Structure 1
């Protein structure tokens, strides 16, 4: 579990591409201070397991199912260690299990804020609402506006400086994770409706209750 508060921007030192997976070696500093084999690190929002590390690098592996497949040597990535029990929850609960990919559609500035509009896959629109939470490349953000299949977020100067999002251009892809709370609520409502529909007079008659 993560918070979406990016701790450090790392740099891809090496990419080993396989038919279905990637092996990434990432240069970092802060992340390495208490790292151990098997630790979970969110790389652009994707929860990955550390398989090797040194004083300057760590290695993770992943599949070709997220925006990480676009990374090259020299690419910068958002990094966050897993949440510990004594940490403050400055963002929102981010699982690191990416829902899909969003595409940068447009950008514009208002004073010192950078507004970014992204196209979202239709299947995830139902979880998005103004002032709700979203994670883009692992960054916890508040939704500014939702319109059709597009969502707009605002990057304050601190977020522009401390994450990779401000460097995105039109057509670039980012990892998308919707707020897990909405998914749980949907599941509970669905199960409730199923139970209500199943306990009808017709259902009881078919099953010999009267």
Structure 2
């Protein structure tokens, strides 16, 4: 689990390719403190597993599903990447709940500076993601925990403060660049619970009445 508060930006040192499988070796500093084989590390919002490391870098596998579903396949040696270690239970939870399971990708359609903020307009490649993107809700862009300013029929906007811009790879992103998107997990679970019924009985997996609008109304919740 991650918070979306980027700890540092690393530099991609090398990419080993075999079909749709990759091994990324990333030069880093802070995230190497206490690193162990098997640790989870978010790279541009994608949860990857450390398979080896040395004093200045860490290597991680990218499997075909991740290759096809994220922007990691586009990375080249020398590219900067956002890095975050899995969250600890004894630290402040400053962002929002993130799994590092990317829902899809998007393209930056606009970048506009206004006073001390920079507004990014992003168009998801899959319009279905809009069911989970709401104004003032949370979203992760390349692993960065951000708040949705507003939405339109085809895009949404986020506003970036100077600190976040300077400490993440968003400082290099311009219109036309691709980004990884992870929507708020809460909406996905609520939708799943509401939709998981047996049509012929109207009951859930356990045989109890399924969670539905009718159930909530009949029991005084709405």
TM exceeding 0.5: yes
Match of 2:201 among 191, 198, 203: 198
- Please list the CA deviations of residues 148-204 of structure 1 after superposition, one character each: whole Å capped at 9, or x if unmatched: 12010001001101111121111111111000000011111113xx3587249xxxx
Does residue 1:167 correspond to 2:169, yes or no? no
* Superposition misfits of 4+ residues, deviation over 6 angstroms: none
SS of residue paired to 1:184: helix
TM superposition score normalised by structure 2 = 0.86
Structure 2 CA distance for aligned equivalents of residues 39 and 199 of structure 1:
42
1:141 alignment partner in structure 2? 146
Equivalent residue number for residue 133 of structure 2: 128
| Mapped partners of 1:142, 1:116: distance in 2 | 11
Distance 1:83 1:197, change over 3 A: same
Residue 22 of structure 1 deviates from its aligned partner by 1.1
- Structure 2 match to 1:155: 160
Matches within 5 A, 1:1-210: 1-63=1-63, 64-65=67-68, 66-120=70-124, 121-191=126-196, 194=197, 198-199=201-202
- Structure 1: tracts of 5 or more residues without a match: 201-210
Number of residue pairs aligned between Structure 1 and Structure 2: 198
CA distance in structure 2 between the aligned counterparts of 1:127 and 1:6, rounded to whole angstroms: 23
Instruction: Give the TM-score of the pair, scaled to structure 1.
Output: 0.91
RMSD: 1.4
